[in-house]
């Protein structure tokens, strides 16, 4: 029974609970047993609400309005960016207070009202700054369920690892430079960063408008369902229609090499979409060194702004973060982030979208490395991180939507992924094309852990 239930999609679980064919109590028990089984090897959770989940599942089962709850009985994992009543919100840092939140944040409240069972908080790197799953405040690093020697990506590391390891069917993450799409790509999942204003900011780091909350899921349907609940909008109808899709496999920054398996995945996905009736064209893709340098300055400024805004003691930060903060303070003194960089990035992308509806790119440039490789000297770490994830940040700077979609496996058996990006309001198009990819090239929904 445990295996059967933990392999179900959120859409399926909710539908069966709504029809009273399945009890939320049984669903909760199945996922809690699964967590007991694999969490010691994966380390995805910061805190688990075991007793509360069992109590809330029993109360949910007794309600007479299950048919009207879109996430009825669906367990969900929450990134440690978001407030969950009764749990401390640490943001991956020893510098933050360890007092429990007195109430849920807005997005957690939304999924609760929709009938979800909040399992607990999941890991992230300090202040969501890095594309890995390690933070000193938590102790152990989070492992990639597909290969426990590698990292799961980040910063929504624990959210992606929990879903890939069947500890939760869906999760909420946040994405300021790729922090949903990177771990989704590393862990073989669907991860969507919506455009500006689609989902309320809630507890998400402001990061000068870069960051958005969004869903992490194993299916396109589950991602669409959670997006609907978080945004408060009706679910998008996933009905693929012929679109103009541009394909670009070149890294957006000079000097970055894209692994041949990610290039091949993007080109193969493009060929499949052309066979399905979409108009596909290959382009060089957007590339701008000034924009890449602007993104690096902003990345540092995010850290300095967080420390000032949250009134954190910088001496309690991890060494790499302290260096990032110092550089960020210089950026804020000399050239604080403004809308000029945003306008430049939008102009670059708008030129692309003058001739197409969506842009298809590799989701990553390299396979996920061990987390430890990102925790060396500052410059070396920054170069490794930017060489690993060069495609994702531009979409945050522009505030345009983008999503990671699994596509095939590497020679090492690790998931590969492509990324779809579009202009404002194109979330329905991206979800529909992702559903088309899911139908034509279905992926294993969970790691064989």
What is the set of active-site residues? 79, 155, 179
270 phi/psi in degrees, rounded to 5: -60, -40
Contacts for 291 with CB less than 8 Å, ≥ 6 apart = 252, 341, 344, 345, 348, 394, 397
Task: Tell me the helices (H) and strands (E) count for the chain, helix number first.
Answer: 15, 11
Both tokens of residue 52? 């509360």
Q: Are 215 and 172 in contact (CB under 8 A)?
A: yes
Q: Give the separation between CA 175 and CA 201, rounded to whole angstroms.
A: 11
Q: Give the separation between CA 142 and CA 153, rounded to whole angstroms.
A: 9
316 phi/psi in degrees, rounded to 5: -95, 0
Residue appearing with tokens 């899911």: 438
Q: Are 358 and 420 in contact (CB under 8 A)?
A: yes
Q: Are 370 and 153 in contact (CB under 8 A)?
A: no
Q: Give the separation between CA 24 and CA 126, rounded to whole angstroms.
A: 34
Both tokens of residue 391? 């495609």
Contacts for 391 with CB less than 8 Å, ≥ 6 apart = 178, 251, 252, 361, 362, 363, 364, 365, 419
């Amino acid at each position: 029974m445990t295996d059967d239930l933990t392999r179900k999609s959120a859409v399926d679980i909710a539908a069966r609970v709504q029809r009273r064919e399945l009890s939320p109590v049984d669903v909760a028990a199945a996922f809690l047993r699964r967590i007991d089984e694999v969490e010691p090897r994966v380390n995805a959770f910061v805190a688990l609400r075991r007793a509360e989940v069992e109590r809330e599942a029993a109360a949910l089962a007794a309600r007479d309005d299950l048919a009207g709850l879109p996430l009825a009985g669906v367990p969900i994992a929450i990134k440690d960016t978001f407030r969950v009543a009764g749990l401390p919100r640490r943001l991956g840092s020893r510098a933050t207070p360890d007092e429990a939140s007195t109430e849920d944040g807005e997005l957690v409240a939304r999924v609760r009202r929709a009938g979800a069972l909040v399992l607990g908080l999941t890991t992230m790197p300090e202040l969501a700054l890095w594309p890995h799953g390690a933070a000193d405040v938590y102790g152990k690093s989070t492992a990639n369920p597909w290969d426990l020697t590698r990292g799961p990506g980040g910063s929504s590391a624990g959210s992606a690892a929990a879903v890939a390891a069947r500890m939760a069917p869906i999760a909420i993450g946040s994405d300021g430079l790729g922090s949903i799409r990177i771990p989704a790509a590393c862990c073989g999942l669907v991860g969507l960063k919506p455009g500006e204003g689609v989902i309320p900011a809630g507890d998400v780091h402001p990061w000068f408008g870069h960051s958005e909350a969004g869903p992490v899921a194993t299916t396109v349907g589950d991602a669409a369902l959670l997006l609907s609940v978080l945004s408060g909008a009706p679910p998008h109808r996933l009905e693929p229609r012929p679109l103009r899709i541009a394909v670009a496999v070149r890294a957006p920054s000079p000097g970055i090499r894209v692994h041949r398996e990610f290039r091949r995945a993007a080109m193969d996905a493009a060929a499949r979409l052309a066979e399905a009736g979409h108009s596909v064209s290959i382009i060089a893709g957007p590339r701008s060194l000034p924009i890449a340098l602007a993104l690096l300055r902003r990345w540092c400024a995010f850290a300095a702004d967080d420390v000032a805004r949250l009134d954190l003691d910088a001496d309690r930060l991890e060494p790499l973060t302290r260096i990032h903060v110092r550089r960020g303070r210089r950026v804020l003194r000399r050239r604080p982030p403004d809308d000029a960089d945003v306008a430049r990035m939008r102009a670059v992308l708008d030129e692309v979208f003058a001739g197409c509806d969506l842009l298809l790119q590799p989701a990553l440039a390299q396979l996920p490395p061990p987390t430890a490789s990102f925790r060396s000297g500052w410059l070396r770490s920054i170069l490794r991180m930017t060489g690993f994830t060069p495609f994702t940040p531009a979409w945050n700077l522009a505030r345009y939507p983008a999503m990671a979609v699994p596509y095939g496996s590497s020679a090492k058996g690790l998931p590969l992924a492509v990324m779809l990006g579009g202009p404002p309001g194109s979330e329905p198009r991206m979800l529909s094309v992702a559903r088309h990819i899911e139908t034509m090239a279905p992926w294993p929904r969970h790691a064989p852990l």
